[in-house]
Amino acid sequence: MPEHIRRRPAGAALPEDAVEGLHPVLRRVYERRGLRDSGELDLSLRRLQPPSGLADLDRAVRALIPALRAGQRIVVVGDYDADGATATALMVLALRRLAKAAGGDPAAIESFVPDRFSLGYGLSGAVVERLRPMEPDWLVTVDNGVTSVEGVAAARQAGMGVVVTDHHAPGESLPAAEAVVDPLREDDHFPTTALAGVGVAFYLALALRRGLEADGGLREETASLLELLDLVAVGTVADLVPLDHNNRILVEQGLRRIRAGVVRPGIVALLEVAGREPTEVTAADLAFAVGPRLNAAGRMDDMTAGVDCLLEEDPQRARERAAGLDGLNRQRREVEAQMTEEALASLEAQAEDVGLGVCVAARGWHQGVTGILASRLKERYHRPAVAFAPADGGRLRGSARSVPGLHMRDLLARIHARSPSLIECFGGHAMAAGLTIESGQLDAFRRAFAGALDDALGGELPKLRLETDGALAPEELNLETAWALRYGGPWGQGFPEPCFDGVFRIERAKELRGGHLRLELSNGDGTGPVFPAIAFGGVERGWDRLQGAVHAIYRPEVNRFRGSVELQLRIDYLTAAG
């Protein structure tokens, strides 16, 4: 077996009472992910962590309940990615329902998503000025705000109350809001720090409903907030937060509601425009069909279009809005392809090695696509990558993507500590971050980035490791296994979709449009059944030149084609078998 392919350890055996009726392949997969008992397999809502432990949650409830009852104007301030869009829609819907049930005014609840290009990220003084004509009494941030010290101060000076909900790391001090709800606060006691922004928003909504119920403040029956779990599922998956047990519950419950038709018309429309069947939806459909189309609004235009699609109640208008988002996503793909081509040409023209990290910038690049470009370069070169595009005021706005073992936000923090004037602002997570610099500081940043990487990595990149769940026996390669794996998740960040490795023989290979490969694979000795397989991007990776015996990493999947259902192997990696 190639040395860079590593099989996950088998793990401790699950107790028999936990695995009764469980497919044996799925049992092995769970054990390799460290699941230990039946409780970790239980994805019912009774296992969901209660809101208690989230710092300032009670303060947020005490601040907002009187506002809801009095019909005060509340503006939800969101973010321009899929997590921010779903969090914005969820908070607007929840507050409107609770306001109506509490005798308030649902029409007093509005939303605002700052434009990526003119206003940037988060609640800033400029955003507060834009909000003045709306005359809000309260601002509720979702998926942003924990570092908005100046923005919150400006809002309060303008007479607006502020409740912050966020899931990003705080700065040196918290903003002076009426409440700051963020599981990453040092004084927070919530059992997990993995919530997405939409997850934090959902917990605030639950706490508000509970608070209204406790003091008899619900004057009429209101729809269950659990109906909003479809939004929680989309935002959680799209934001690539770790799918720990609590997040798996949130996502699985959202998926079950989507399959059952308890779903926003906009989510149905986004699935359908991508050719996905809502009644069979999986987390992968949210990640690769819904998420990119929502994100396209924030990348290419204005995330208000994404929020409007999620808030739309009329199915036909939802389809029209989804079609618009699909068009933006196609436009994004074209821009991404051009930027990737230019970046690769620039890097390949360099005489020297790219070093421990990749840092690229060019005039004419689109700010909204730098994150995807950085991801592409990280995958291509197997090292951290930063991509910059021009912004207003002679600045460069960049996106950074990391590799396992290197915390990108912490790396930027170290650069900032060493050279405080180099980075104007930054934020993010372990694997992804954003930053802004002066355009004249690009070379200085490249040097600082290279130096910080050298210190953090000891001059050596982490070795490329491809993890699998081991081999499948020939009799396990069937549709039954594929169905079990399809619905055995939800799979995602921190709880990866199962993949397996083994030796096969290429019987036939055909290049498809777009550089993909259609393969027919037999067992390594050329005997037994022939399995259809698909390798996306296989030509670019040079797999079209492989013949005979190969070592493959693959995922058994259910493939529907012209009314038939068959097993298909999705190829993640191919190399000659040695």
pLDDT at 172 over 80: yes
Can you give the pLDDT at residue 198?
99
CATH of domain 57-326: 3.90.1640.30
Stretch 52-58: mean pLDDT: 96
User: Residue 222: its pLDDT value, please?
Assistant: 61
Q: What three-state secondary structure class fits 353?
A: coil
Whole-Å CA distances, 37 to 8, 12, 33, 399, 531: 19, 10, 12, 40, 35
Closest-CA residue to 374 (of 408, 348, 350): 408
Q: Which residues pair with 387 in a beta bridge?
A: 360, 399
- Per-residue pLDDT band for 218 (boundaries 50, 70, 90) equals confident
Could you give the count of Cα atoms lying within 13 Å of 210 in the half-sphere of its Cβ? 14
Name residue 364's amino acid: G
Mean pLDDT of 379-396: 94
CA distance 81 to 241: 13
Record the tokens describing residue 132, joined without a space.
Answer: 């003045």
Mean pLDDT computed over every residue of the chain: 95
Please say if the pLDDT value at position 360 is more than 90. yes
What are the DSSP calls for 121-137, one per residue? SSS-HHHHHHHGGG--S
Q: Is the pLDDT of residue 40 over 60?
A: yes
CA gap 187, 27 in Å, rounded: 38
Average pLDDT over residues 475-484: 97
Residue 228 has pLDDT above 60, yes or no: yes
- How confident is residue 221, by pLDDT bands cut at 50, 70 and 90? low
**What is the rounded CA–CA span in Å between residue 79 and residue 304?**
10
Please write down the HEC assignment for all residues of 410-465. Answer: HHHHHHHHHCCCCCCEEEECCCEEEEEEEHHHHHHHHHHHHHHHHHHHCCCCCCCC
- Rounded Cα gap, residues 463 and 466, in angstroms: 10
Q: How far apart are the first and last CA of the chain?
A: 8
Question: How would you label 328-357 residue by residue, b for 16+ Cβ within 10 Å and e otherwise?
Answer: bbebbeebbeebbeebeeebeeeeeebbbb
C-beta separation of 84 from 78 below 8 A: yes
User: Does 114 have pLDDT greater than 70?
Assistant: yes
In the 8-state DSSP scheme, what is residue 366?
Answer: -
Give CATH for domain 350-457: 3.10.310.30
SS (H, E, C) 30-89: HHHCCCCCHHHHCCCHHHCCCCCCCCCHHHHHHHHHHHHHHCCCEEEECCCCHHHHHHHH
Per-residue pLDDT tens over the stretch 126-160:
999 999 999 999 999 999 999 999 999 999 999 99
Q: How far apart are CA 522 and CA 501, in angstroms?
A: 14
Give SS3 for 218.
coil
CB 270 within 8 A of CB 309: yes
Q: What is the dihedral of CA 45, 76, 322, 238, to 10 degrees?
A: -50
pLDDT the model gives residue 180: 99
Residue 512 is inside which H or E element, if any?
strand 500-512
- Residue closest to 69 by CA, chosen among 115, 100, 24, 110: 100
Query: At residue 351, does pLDDT exceed 60?
Result: no
Pick the CATH number of 5-33+466-576 from 1.50.40.10, 3.40.640.10, 2.40.50.460, 3.40.50.12780: 2.40.50.460
User: 3-state class of 349 per DSSP?
Assistant: coil
Contact 33, 488 (CB under 8 A): no
With CA atoms as reference, report the closest residue to 404 among 429, 434, 431, 425: 431
β-pair type (138-141, 161-165): parallel
Positive/negative CA dihedral, 92, 95, 101, 103: negative
74 contacts 221 by C-beta, under 8 angstroms: no
User: With contact defined as beta carbons under 8 Å apart, do 406 and 384 qualify?
Assistant: yes
* pLDDT band, very low/low/confident/very high, at 120 (cuts 50, 70, 90): confident
- Closest listed residue to residue 471, CA positions, set 497, 493, 518, 504: 504
Q: Where are the domains of the chain?
A: 5-33+466-576, 57-326, 350-457
Residue whose tokens read 């406790």: 214
Q: How confident is the model at residue 561 (pLDDT cuts 50, 70, 90)?
A: confident
- Give the contacts of 38 (CB within 8 A, at least 6 positions apart): 14, 15, 17, 18
Please count the CA atoms within 13 angstroms of the CA of 446 that sit on its side-chain side. Answer: 13
Closest among 407, 449, 450, 446 to 428, alpha carbons compared: 407
Fold match between domain 57-326 and domain 350-457: no
What's the pLDDT score for residue 163? 99
**Can you give the pLDDT at residue 18?**
84
Give the pLDDT of residue 526. Answer: 65
Q: Which stretch of 24-28, 210-214, 275-279 has the lowest confidence by average pLDDT?
A: 210-214
Contact present, 65 and 104 (Cβ < 8 Å): no
